[in-house]
Amino acid sequence: MSDARTPAQIEADIARRRQELAVTLDEIAVRVHPKTILGGAKAKAASTVDRTAGQAYVAANRAVSGVRAQLVSEDGSPRLERIVPVALAAVALVGLFAVSVRRRRG
């Protein structure tokens, strides 16, 4: 048994390997092209922003739900015994802020 190949087989193998190499080089050229790199970076940044915004939304939603649970009863009626002190504290803080601003300007 002879494993010898004919010149035509060798030439066909060389041509096939040249074609494979050309395809590989084209793929490398696309991957290292600045537009491809920039597009990948933009996609990664957009994904990070989307994920961060989603996490912020979930955290804000939890906080609002927690506050609502404290200020509204299960039947939907306001809990005045909790709302009135919170409202008075908010009014006091706004008043202190207004006085502070006036003193700085005056």
| Tens of pLDDT, residues 11-26 | 999 999 999 999 999 9
Residues in contact with 59: Cβ distance below 8 Å, sequence separation at least 6, in sequence order: none
**Of 93, 90, 92, 86, which Cα lies nearest the Cα of 68?**
86
pLDDT at position 1 is: 52
- Angle (deg, nearest 10), helices 34-71 and 80-105: 120
**Averaged pLDDT of the chain:** 92
Q: Is the pLDDT assigned to residue 2 strictly greater than 90?
A: no
The mean pLDDT of 58-84, rounded to a whole number, is 92
Rounded-to-integer distance, Cα 48 and Cα 6, Å: 57
Give me 66's structure tokens: 């927690």
pLDDT of the residue at 47: 95
Instruction: Show me where the domains of the chain are located.
Output: 78-106
